[in-house]
Amino acid sequence: MTAATAPPPEFRRAVATLSASMVAGRLRPELYVTALDAPPRLAPYTWALQVEADAAYPTGTDLDEPDTSGRLILLHDPAGQDAWEGTFRLVCFVQARLEREQLGDEMFPEVSWSWLTEALEGSRAEYVALGGTVTQTSSVRFGDIAGPARDDDVEIRASWTPVGDASGPDLSRHADAFCQLVAVAAGLPPVGTVPLGRRTV
């Protein structure tokens, strides 16, 4: 959190509902959650976490370089911001490795964006003012640089305003939606099913 004064009750409630969802056993065991220092100066009050996953490794594996990672940042401005249409804002960034056959697929950005919208709708997380971008990137390493010769990634950046009452929004459903987004981007199968391979478009 960043603030010159104590966080207001509505922000503390929002953080509590968000963080409780991450530690109350509701997460998939393949997801790894860590607290982050929220970027300063984005809003008077901020809070952040990171979720990582890798479908290629069994549950419980320590991930040095996960193939999928996501950051979720909670912003709060008691005065509100016109672009937010409210006093709270959730910002997420998810990066996942692509399969080579997915490169150049003109529909892939739309499919990737649908991972987020379907996760929000499936979790019944109410929101307004949703916006963001989907970017495909390719990096090729040359010379004496550690790591794979080539990385192909998709990056999803999005933000939305959670709908809540004056006491502060209950963000548990938004936490669930974000975890679903990371899981789908990582190619994890639905809960209770046996994995058959990486995601396909």
Mean pLDDT, consecutive 10-residue stretches, the chain (201 aa), reads 72 89 67 86 92 67 69 94 93 88 76 95 94 87 68 91 78 92 88 52 44
What is the model's pLDDT at position 201? 44
What is the model's pLDDT at position 64? 55
What is the model's pLDDT at position 25? 46
What is the model's pLDDT at position 74? 96
What is the model's pLDDT at position 147? 61
Q: Are 85 and 160 in contact (CB under 8 A)?
A: no
What is the model's pLDDT at position 173? 92
What is the model's pLDDT at position 151? 75
- Indicate the burial class of 9 (C-beta count within 10 angstroms; 0-12, 13-18, 19 or more): exposed
Report how far Cα 96 is from the mean position of its chain's Cα atoms.
11
What is the model's pLDDT at position 145? 65
**Using N-to-C axis directions, what is the helix angle for 108-122 and 172-186, rounded to 10°?**
150
What is the model's pLDDT at position 119? 95
